[in-house]
Chain A
Amino acid sequence: MIAMGRNVMKELEKVRRYIYNCRKCGVCSGKVTSKVPYVCPVKESTAGFDHFSSRGKTVIAQGLLEGAISPSAELAEVIYSCTLCGNCMTQCGSINQDTGEALVDTTKIVEAMRADFLQNHPKWIDPAYRSILSSTRQYNNPWGLSRTEKEKWAKKMKIKNAQKEPSPVLLFVGCTMASSQELSSRPRKAAEIMSTANVDFAILGKDEPCCGSVQKRIGDVPLAREMMEENINLFNSLGCEAIVTLCAGCANMLKNDYRESKEKLKPRVLHIVEFLPKLIQERKLQLREKHSLKATYHDPCHIGRHMGIYDQPRAILNALPGVDLIERYATKENTICCGAGGGMRIFESGSLAEKIGHAALKSAMQVGAKALVTACPFCEMNLDAASRSLNNQIPVYDIIDMVYEALQ
């Protein structure tokens, strides 16, 4: 452990291999191809100094480890200016040939810096982030929802409770999907889709815990770990075979981050875009044409770059009669983040996130798309806000909406 004056960079020390593996070449900052218009959405949408880029943040992390620079309130702000989208890692492309692990995992470096700052200098952290953490401690979710609010969407629906009636599939809604009236229509629609396909599933309703993703991304590692361990015990006790999530952040957390826990999660974790193609293929869902629509798909970073899910959502959209799926220039692993990742909806009151969102929408309009479809509530919220400020030139849909519509 390296002491930083009175500070200790405990989490950063754990990821030092990523920091020293980085050659500081800057490919993560400058790369341009016909499929990569730019790499870092934050660098592109700010004044562009190196500290906004992956290389600059890694140099800073190294400086903190070696004691060349000291933490400061201003620096705290900088380390939160990252969407954790991972495009820098994709474009760097350096992987351990034996394990497939990224040699320079910038998302882990940034998360570690956040964790150390939050631990050592909580007062420097934006109060909005701290409020998420206190909400979590009080309500077991980041948005301060009461337990009844979390199951409100399921009112008048006859859905099994996973703790009382074991089912092979647990539909995991996620806190964000339940956080607003608009978003909470998604779990209802997802449940109806699954019922239509005769899927035997259950929910946790008011007892559904938060997965811990938001808390981990903003740096509260101990809290996230605690949540993770409790949740694994809960999920394993349910006896289900699969957990199907509606939120990309939950999927990434449950599938990837939960691997760090000593106790292993037994059920398989699937995002709903991985679950639906089979139902469509087996003709359990009869899809009808509602209206013709030229649409493009925005790959959420959590399930795209972080989980490698690219083909399944496209298979769903291609199966929808009337939908003409087209691709943006930067698509799949090259997708530019919507702007909402890594807690950026909170950073600078969301203004930077919205600016980044504009770029995503414009890239869709550039190829002639009339709608942008995504599969993540954070993407949807941010892109929708960006669309509103562009006079709703292009609507934003969740893929669940599209499937649900086609079933009516």
Chain B
Amino acid sequence: MHTKKMLQSLQEIVGKEFVTTDRFATFAYSEDASNFGGTHAAGVVRPGSTEEVALILSLANRQRIPVVVRGGGASIYGQPKGIPGHNLLLDMTRMNNVKEINPQSMTVTAQAGIIMSKLELACRKEGFYIFTPFVPNHIVSLGGWMSGVAGSAGLWKDIISMTVVLADGTVVTTGGGPGTNRHQPLVYNRTLGGPDFTGLFTGDGGSFGIKTEATVRIRKYPPFVRAGIMEFATLGNVLAMMERHVQRDTSFPFDALLVFGAGAMENFAVGTEGVKAFTVQRMAMGYSSDELDCRLAAFHADAQELGGTSNPALEAMAVAMEASTGTEGDPGMDWMALFNGFGRAAWLPFTLPREGFADVYHQLLAWREERMRAADERGYRCNATWEFFTVSDQSTIIGEMDVFFEETHEPGLQAYARDLMRDFQEYAHRLGSIDVYNQGFMADLNATCWSPGFKGLFQTVKTSLDPNNILNPGLWSDLKKDPER
């Protein structure tokens, strides 16, 4: 990377001001939102267009320079490590423009470096929204979300098309529309005209190509929000509520049933002190008040039948939730930043089949309790814990059982939290969890669980698209731990 000629070539591509090799400048990218850290790069470049990315990759491919991509730096499991000290890091956040909102086709096209809240705000100004319920929206970029999260956690069905630069600089546009069909000027349907290559690049961790643009489905913003909260004494009854919930067919993408673990609520919501049970929250958005009243009434009826109870504190909380979610059309809250005041977070997410969930859930909780005792013995005090889960589709439950440590202002705590996350995931994976995060450590862990056939397919695709292995090298490749290898 450190040749004068290379530096000069990069400067010619993007302009002198958008390339740096200063040590402090590259060091600034060595941390991100995770406890796992960012990337140690030899140089950072901020491209402004797909064409510039294509020229950069073409150059890097010829020189065999590892390229690592960064959007908002919002990962939970760390940035791709590449080859530390040799990487060329592409900071994509300069590519942050909304290119078109098409109210007729109900699509938005934007550059991949855009932070989601900026994209969301642009859509809401036109009366639309993008379905991104679990996005840390002030932090993550569109490209980061599409690449680093498997299926983009709900967004994936709504991604219609991606523009991707392959390792050799070739630019491809997936999905229906002009990228697939040269006679069709509109980007409006992903699954027509050939195999679903958009899916190929979704959740790839940036290993198959660099996303520079995407077209995403938008929906008319629903003007009404309603919330209801009930408490349940047992996990069995909670799961019965979930079963009823997923048996219904809904036309709303966000039709959430959010569950907080026993006693979790009182750690985080003022006025809910003394709520020791599981709480199940029904959040519903819709286009008429009557419709929502009916849906909430059905929720309360089901809950009461299954042993759910309510109390004034929870009712007040529901009203507060309606108000905070609001319909003013401003993506104000960011779930990740919301926890910044709670101390050093060890995020412990899981994704499990609904079938057999209860048993694994209890095992994971017991594992966490044991580790919390060990942490305490080492002098790491716990500020709070919480458990949260929700259905992500008919068969899957996605959730977290996070821990927040009192900050010690020493690097040791970050390392401890990182180890806790790593150990938890290794344990959870042995119990069948497959997490949605295809980033850093988690991508490596997922890869150790691949079947031989899947692994072979991955390697074939990777070798075809990136024969010199310059794109995020190392990601997915921690195969040494794989007992089958």
Name A residues whose Cβ lies closer than 8 Å to a Cβ of B. Answer: 16-17, 19-21, 23-27, 29-35, 47-51, 55-57, 59-60, 62-63, 66, 68-70, 72, 74-75, 78, 91-97, 103-104
Contact = CB atoms under 8 A, between A and B. Distances in A.
Interface stretch (B27-35, B169-177, B309-317, B449-457): B27-35
B29 A75 contact: no
Given A33-B121, A59-B30, A92 B337 contact: yes
B138 A74 contact: no
B409 A60 contact: no
B340 A20 contact: no
B73 A49 contact: no
Given A25-B336, A26-B72, A31 B24 contact: no
A24 B33 contact: yes
Contact of B139 (A20, A25, A66): A25
Contacts, number: 137
Contact of A26 (B17, B74, B94, B345): B74
Contacts of A104: 340
A404 B8 CA distance: 58
A5 to B, nearest CB: 14
A21 B410 CA distance: 10
Interface stretch (B182-190, B233-241, B326-334): B326-334
Given A47-B18, A74-B24, A31 B138 contact: yes
A97 to B, nearest CB: 7
List 8 tightest A-B contacts by C-beta distance, closest first.
Answer: A56-B28, A30-B115, A31-B138, A27-B337, A32-B118, A20-B409, A94-B340, A51-B28
A23 B72 CA distance: 14
Contact of A23 (B29, B33, B91): B33
B371 interface: no
Contacts of A103: 340-341
Contacts of B410: 20
25 contacts: A17-B409, A20-B413, A25-B136, A25-B340, A27-B337, A30-B117, A31-B138, A32-B117, A32-B121, A33-B117, A33-B330, A33-B332, A34-B330, A48-B46, A48-B94, A49-B25, A49-B28, A49-B44, A50-B28, A56-B29, A57-B28, A63-B27, A66-B411, A69-B23, A69-B24
B132 interface: no
Contacts of B337: 25, 27, 92-94
A92 B138 CA distance: 10
B447 to A, nearest CB: 26
B25 A63 contact: no
Contacts of B121: 32-34
B46 A47 contact: yes
Contact of A25 (B74, B91, B332): B74
Contacts of B136: 25
Nearest to A21: B407
Contacts of A24: 31-33, 73
B328 to A, nearest CB: 8
A352 B139 CA distance: 26
A29 B91 CA distance: 13
A23 B345 contact: yes
A78 B24 contact: yes
Interface in B401-451: 407-411, 413
B58 interface: no
A17 B117 contact: no
A48 B27 contact: no
* B17, B18, B30, B330 pick with most chain A CB within 10 angstroms: B30
Contacts of B139: 25-27, 30
B407 A49 contact: no
A49 B27 contact: no
Contact of A49 (B20, B74, B125, B411): B20
A62 to B, nearest CB: 7
Contacts of A62: 31
Nearest to B120: A32
B340 A23 contact: yes
Contacts of B28: 49-51, 55-57, 59-60
A384 B392 CA distance: 54
B72 A16 contact: no
B451 to A, nearest CB: 35
Interface string B336-360: 1100110011000000000000000
Contacts of A78: 24-25
* A20, A32, A68 pick with most chain B CB within 10 angstroms: A32
